[in-house]
Structure 1
């Protein structure tokens, strides 16, 4: 299969996996949000950072090294498997005994038991990490889709049934645990790979030397991706954490789908053409434009129609989350670019530069939070939006140096698309003001505004940026 066909097939199946999962997860989250209270979601949000940190430390970047290594064999895979397993057990024990300290930090005694149960998920995930890596390396996203959908369905059934039975926050806990169990069990069945009794120390050192820098970078990114939850959980009420977490999850519905799909495809894709800078630049540019072309209108339209959407789907009790969501949509537009363009550094073997850039961005986040916390939660959110823009320029400048594609060139290629999205969003906004005066129902405001915005967006895009429209059509529809 040609590289183009591999990439196209990978994108199709990865998007299928992401969207099918997210549609199911979205429906489940809506049902749970209507049953449970914002503060219960806030408690889970407070714990999420520790789960993410555990997953990052458990892997140590070794699976990324396996994908990059074209000569990785059974001995490499088994070595990394046993390391991941041992590391996950050690990290879980540390978190288990630290649970009372975590609960004390947030002043939420109930978190002790929640942390101890929920964090077992990264131990479970360690059993299937190599199986998942092998599927990703050969760009077999079809099998991953067949694995992920049943896992999401089972976890949804567990969560909703427990919520209706009055288990409260524990319905969210066991929903996540069941998803992890289901996914790992299927990976063993579908991947047809089992570890052998091998552990090669020189090979471990080789993978570790590449991976530990990525791990430190990922660890920084994980902590700082959740740092706003940590700060809000420490200085504000659990309900406000819940509003932030729900806004973040709804914003991430399109963002994570696209970002995760592209990261899964672009890293192995870039790895195959890592020595051809001209080709790498061309592919990078095309994918970057496609990402913005998809994500910009979705988030802009969602921000404009946030108030009727939250009231319709989540009920009145979630309306305080609307301004949170609208501000976070700004960060979402550039997030996929901030994550996937750094894949260029990874395939070029510059994990040292990757780490350096992460440190710089995290220092800026600390400074921003220290300044913003004095002015309240909205100042924190606006700071997050501003820093996402700064991060894009830091990443694009360094990535551009490797493929002769400067930050200014990248900005010129995506800025017109964002402007088209903003113009379309403005039309929706003023139309919606009229519909409010006419007392239209929320569902009709959302449908009318969404359809109108898409029509305007595609019409202007076709006239002014026909090349982007045609490339988008070619990537998505060509078989």
Structure 2
């Protein structure tokens, strides 16, 4: 089998695995949100946010390094193992001995105990990262996907079972520890790699030089994306943080199922085309992405009340209102999503870094400025600042590629008009209960159908050429994927 075909199959399996993991994780998330109190759920969500931050440092970009090597070097891999084990142990220790006591004192009593146990997760993950990289390098993506799905499923079943038996926050802790432990055991069993005590200083130097830039970029992106979460948690408390977490969870799942696959399929093309064609390729990406993603995310905002009632229950209706606000950021996000990838494809990593800095400063400033006006004010501020910083980001990339901000807006304009019209029709119909069958799932389905019909009608009536061009580009993309 050719390298290109192996890569394509590997990408397909990664995409399918991601979809499976997202759906299973969402199901577990929904069940736990129903079973736990808002305060308990907020405590767990905050602890997982800290854990997610710690895991950024554990990987250290070493997976990419191992996968990109021309040949597998056992000595290098063994050095990677001990290096990662040291880093993950250090991160776990910092969480247990520094962050946990601070959280217990300044955030909420009891959060320190939760973090103390969850500090084991980075260590459990760290022992199998090299094994995971070897499976991916050997194109054993099917096996890797199966291991991940099994671990997520078993951990989820344990968490839900314990929650049903009134274990509270401990149900999630034990489920998460089991998931990480099982995942590592299965990965180690699936590979022949066994680490001897081999540490090469030259390799350590290479790992640091390769991993540090990736780690800082990932850290900056994480803080930019999670600014609202941190500010809400520290200023408004546990319950408010829980509502934000639930609101963002649905959006995260939809983004992973729509934008992320498109990103993986389209972005590599930027590095394979000449500079004079980058702009046109970018406009095409914007048209196709907006055609699919905007109606999904903004449509979700329109039916958020019914969707939250059906899945999470009425105690989470505040999250539905937050979804209706935060979903509109997708319009600006589409316009800015691929800009860093274009800069990296042009070998302009400093410009890509600067784009991230602008996003980070904007989000942090907006969230802090609105913090004491309440949770809705923060949501509005973070949404607005994404639009405000957009022209600045375009000015940066225009120094290197001839991409017009005006033409970019024109590329997403038809989808934006269609999606906003759809939102207005569906949201107003829902407020006046135009559709009311008495069955919540049926009501939700009918409103979704109404939204789909409305979106397509606007495009066919006002933007017919755009509609057919988008369909043609999607078909071309599908043929390319095959």
- In the superposition, the TM-score normalised over structure 2's length comes to 0.85
User: Deviation at 1:175?
Assistant: 2.4
Q: Which residue is equivalent to 1:475?
A: 477
Q: Which moved more, 1:250-259 or 1:432-441?
A: 432-441
Q: What is the alpha-carbon distance in structure 2 between the residues aligned to residue 413 and residue 14 of structure 1?
A: 29
* Aligned equivalents of 2:89, 2:31: Cα separation in 1: 34
Partner in structure 1 of residue 104 of structure 2: 103
Equivalent pair of 1:369/1:383 in contact (CA under 8 Å): yes
Pairing 1:127–2:127 present:
yes
Q: Residues of 2 paired with 1:274 and 1:429: CA distance?
A: 43
Structure 2 equivalent of residue 364 of structure 1? 362
- Contact 1:289 / 1:414 at 8 angstroms: preserved in 2? yes
- Counterpart Cα distance in 2 of 1:182 and 1:334: 40
Partner secondary structure for residue 166 of structure 2: coil
Cα distance in 2 for residues equivalent to 1:287 and 1:430:
32
Match of 1:465 in 2: 467
3-state secondary structure, aligned to 2:327: helix
Q: Which residue, 438, 441, 449 being the options, matches 2:439?
A: 441
Give the 5 Å matches for 1:182-197.
Answer: 182-190=182-190, 193-195=193-195
CA contact (8 A) 2:47 2:115 kept: yes
More divergent stretch after superposition (14-23 vs 390-399): 390-399
The alignment status of 1:180 with 2:216, answered yes or no, reads no
Residue 426 of structure 1, CA deviation: 2.8
The two structures, once aligned, show a CA RMSD in angstroms of 3.4
**Long gaps (5+) in structure 2:** none
- TM-superposition CA deviations, 1:289-335 (whole Å, max 9, x none): 44333321111111111112222222221112221121221234555
Deviations 1:86-120 (A, max 9, x none): 111112111111111122121x1111110011232
| 1:303 maps onto 2:304 in alignment | no
Could you tell me how far 1:58 is from its partner in structure 2?
A: 2.1
Aligned to 2:53: 53
Using a 3 Å threshold, how does the CA distance of structure 1 residues 318 and 7 change in structure 2: closer, same or farther? same
Residues 139-187 of structure 1, C-alpha deviations (whole Å, 9 max, x = no match): 7644443222212211210111010010111112222222222333333
Contact 2:435 2:447 in 1 (8 A): no
Range with greater deviation from structure 2 (290-299 or 63-72)? 63-72
Task: Name the structure 2 match of 1:157.
Answer: 157
| Between 321-330 and 296-305, the greater mean CA deviation after superposition | 321-330
Compare 28-37 and 276-285 and name the one that shifted more.
276-285
User: Hey, what's the Cα distance between the residues in 2 that align with 1:260 and 1:92?
Assistant: 30
Q: Compare 96-105 and 412-421 and name the one that shifted more.
A: 412-421
Structure 1 residues not aligned, in runs of 5+? none
**1:193, CA displacement in angstroms?**
4.5
Tell me, yes or no, if the aligned pair for 2:362 and 2:386 is still in contact at 8 Å: no
| Structure-1 separation of matches of 2:16 and 2:454 | 26
Q: Residue 158 of structure 1 contacts residue 171 of structure 1 at CA under 8 Å; is this kept in 2? A: yes
SS at match of 1:342: helix
| Residue of structure 2 equivalent to 1:424 | 422
Whether 1:252 aligns to 2:241 is no
Tell me if structure 2 keeps the 8 A contact 1:43–1:238.
yes
Give the 5 Å matches for 1:319-398.
Answer: 319-332=317-330, 335=333, 338=336, 341-346=339-344, 350-390=348-388, 393-395=391-393, 398=396
Q: CA deviation at 1:417?
A: 2.1
Distance 1:416 1:2, change over 3 A: farther
CA distance in 1: counterparts of 2:240 and 2:248, whole angstroms: 12
Which residue of the partner structure matches residue 42 of structure 1?
42
Cα distance in 2 for partners of 1:174, 1:144 equals 23
Report the counterpart of residue 291 of structure 1 in structure 2: 289
The number of aligned residues is: 476
Change (3 A) 1:207 1:100: closer
On the 8 A contact 2:40/2:169 being kept in 1, the answer is yes
Query: Residues 373, 338 of structure 1: CA spacing in aligned structure 2 closer, same or farther, 3 A cutoff?
Result: same
Residues 403 and 177 of structure 1: CA distance in aligned 2, closer, same or farther (over 3 Å): farther
Contact 2:302 2:423 in 1 (8 A): yes
Q: TM-score, normalised by structure 1?
A: 0.86
Instruction: Label 1:422 to 1:72 Cα distance change in 2 as closer, same or farther (>3 A).
Output: farther
Relative to 1, partners in 2 of residues 1:191 and 1:470: Cα closer, same or farther, differing over 3 Å?
farther
Question: Over residues 334-374 of structure 1, what are the superposed CA-to-partner deviations in whole Å (9 max), with x where a residue is unaligned?
Answer: 55775654234445554444433333332223322232123
Matched residues in 2 for 1:79 and 1:197: separation?
Answer: 8
1:54·1:91 contact (CA, 8 Å) conserved in 2?
yes
Tell whether the 8 Å contact from 2:418 to 2:456 is kept in structure 1 after alignment: no
Alpha carbons 1:342, 1:395 under 8 Å: kept: no
Q: 1 CA distance for matches of 2:194 and 2:445?
A: 49
Check conservation: 1:62, 1:208, Cα contact below 8 A: no
